[in-house]
Amino acid sequence: MKILVLNAGSSSQKSCFYDLTENLSPEQPAKPLWEARVDWTHHQGFAKVEVETRQGRGWQEEIQTHSRPAIITHLLHTLTDEKNRVIEKLTEIDVVGHRVVHGGETYRESIPITATVKATIARLTALAPAHNPASLEGIEAIEAVLPTVPQVAVFDTAFHSHMPQAAALYPGPYEWFEQGIRRYGFHGISHQYCANRTAQILGKALPALKLITCHLGNGCSLAAISQGRSIDTTMGFTPLDGLMMGSRSGSVDPGILIHLLRQKTYTADQLDQMLNQASGLKGISGISSDMRQVSEAAATGNNRAKLALDMYIHRLRSGIGAMLTSLGGLDALVFTAGVGENSALIRAAACEAFAFLGLKLDAEKNQQRPIDQDIATTDSAIRVVVVHTQEDWAIAQECWKLMQT
């Protein structure tokens, strides 16, 4: 089965092409035959495109356009061009999978895309204005080039959609819940993939494990996973809730926003920009939203960078503690995404707080850039696992499963 995956973000896009023809049970991660990345922020009015094939062929280019559909069409044709051909013709593609950030309360699992599904994704744009429209553009671009090829929507919110109401609802008026205001959670594709991969690494059945998965990138979230399901998470109605992040504040006292609206005459748009783009590591350090740069500055004595790092660690430990109470125990603490996979400092600081539970981190393993490895000591009461998250592969797996039915 030949599967194309489109993972659209607000300012970037990643695309992958997998051929599972020889793999009738795709459980272990497979390397894509072709990968493409698009960055819309590199040069105003241009799309920076990078393409790489498994054979090592690759190239970069900048294309003057604001049109996402035009770029998707261009990328599709790189699959079949003479110089870097991956397939003979585009009609060989059996299915196209799309990451869709928000499925609301309507979609609790992946689903084949129909006109009704598209209309619902469009309606949910109000809950994910920076992401759902990008996914829709990708869906419609594929329809224009490959009108008969089935497409699948894989929702970031779906994995968290079965959380108990005590965890999912906010303690405001009950009418909020009736209006669809609830904790949806995000990074669900990553959390679900990492839970499954952790079970494989540990040689355990996923339903038997109690896990806390820490997705720590520019956006950060935790999930408490029991019997293979998310029962609690830190992100909420929007991806702004929860942990301190690269440029997002995470949870703050809502009274602060009321104060700023009343006393400083901020507009809703100004508050949105402040909380999403000028807070977190960036807002406190005054340096960057990039953990690497903040850590380097802190190590050289920059007090604001040190404060940002300390706050990040404090919030992370507090979040892990909250997830522990939801689980009532823990078999493994899992780190993933850019910071989680690459920062030995953050992993060590997070684990240090839970030594009283018998968690023992192997310091040498932690420093060796581990990927898909257990880095706890042999006598640790809790395993510590670093997983390279592969959302695109998880989307391909969902497509494969749906096409079997």
pLDDT tens for each residue of 203-236: 999 999 999 999 999 999 999 999 999 999 999 9
Statement to judge: residues 244 and 377 lie in one domain: yes
CA angle (15 as vertex; 347, 147 as ends), nearest 5: 145
Alpha helices in 213-302 (DSSP H): 254-263, 268-277, 280-285, 291-299
Q: Look at residue 306 and tell me if it is in a domain.
A: yes
Flag whether 189 is in a domain.
no
Domain-located, residue 250: yes
One domain, residues 101 and 249? no
pLDDT-derived band at 42 (thresholds 50, 70, 90) equals low
Q: Is 156 a catalytic residue?
A: yes
Q: Look at residue 326 in the predicted model and tell me its pLDDT.
A: 94
Looking at per-residue confidence, does 143 or 12 come out higher?
143
| 172 inside domain | no
Could you tell me if 208 and 151 lie in one domain? no
In 3D space, the residue among 393, 347, 332 whose CA is nearest the CA of residue 35 turns out to be: 393
Domain final residue pick, 155, 189, 212: 155
Question: Looking at residues 253-272, what average pLDDT do you find?
Answer: 92
* Domain count for the chain: 2
CA atoms within 13 A on the CB side of 126: 8
Confidence label for 23 from pLDDT (cuts 50, 70 and 90): low
Q: Are 60 and 48 in contact (CB under 8 A)?
A: yes
pLDDT digits (tens, 9 = 90+) for 145-165: 999 999 999 999 999 999 999
Average confidence (pLDDT) over 240-258: 95
Judgement on whether residues 363 and 223 belong to the same structural domain of the protein: yes
Q: Is residue 397 included in any domain, yes or no?
A: no
Looking at the domain assignment, is residue 94 inside a domain? yes
Residue 302 lies in a domain: yes
- Structural domain including 52 reads 2-155
The answer to whether residues 244 and 358 belong to one domain is yes
Q: What percent of the chain has pLDDT over 90?
A: 74
Q: Are residues 258 and 357 in the same domain?
A: yes
Alpha-carbon span 191 to 184, nearest angstrom: 14
Reduce the DSSP state of residue 59 to 3 states and report it: strand
Q: What is the pLDDT of residue 24?
A: 52
Verify that 150 and 208 share a domain, yes or no. no
38, 148: one domain: yes
More confident position, 382 or 124: 382
**In contact, 51 and 78? CB cutoff 8 Å:** yes
Q: pLDDT at position 374, please?
A: 98
Q: Are residues 298 and 240 in the same domain?
A: yes
**Residues 229, 146 share a domain:** no
Residue 98 pLDDT exceeds 90:
yes
Q: 333-368: per-residue pLDDT in tens?
A: 999 999 999 999 999 999 999 999 999 999 999 999
Distance CA 40, CA 385 (A): 33
pTM as predicted: 0.92
Measured distance CA(111)–CA(277) in Å, rounded: 32
* 195 part of a folded domain: no
Q: Which CATH number fits the domain that encloses residue 293?
A: 3.30.420.40
Residues of 249-276 as b/e, b for ≥16 C-beta within 10 angstroms? bbbeeeeeeeeeeeeeebeeeeeeeebb
Rg (the chain; Cα; Å): 21
Q: How would residue 59 be classed by pLDDT, with cut points 50, 70 and 90?
A: confident
Q: Are residues 74 and 136 in the same domain?
A: yes
The pLDDT, as a whole number, for residue 129 is 82
pLDDT at 298 exceeding the cut of 90 = yes
Q: Which residue has the higher pLDDT, 182 or 50?
A: 182
Shared-domain flag, residues 325 and 218: yes
Alpha-carbon span 255 to 88, nearest angstrom: 59
- Of 39, 81, 94, 156, the active-site residue reads 156
Distance CA 95, CA 3 (A): 5
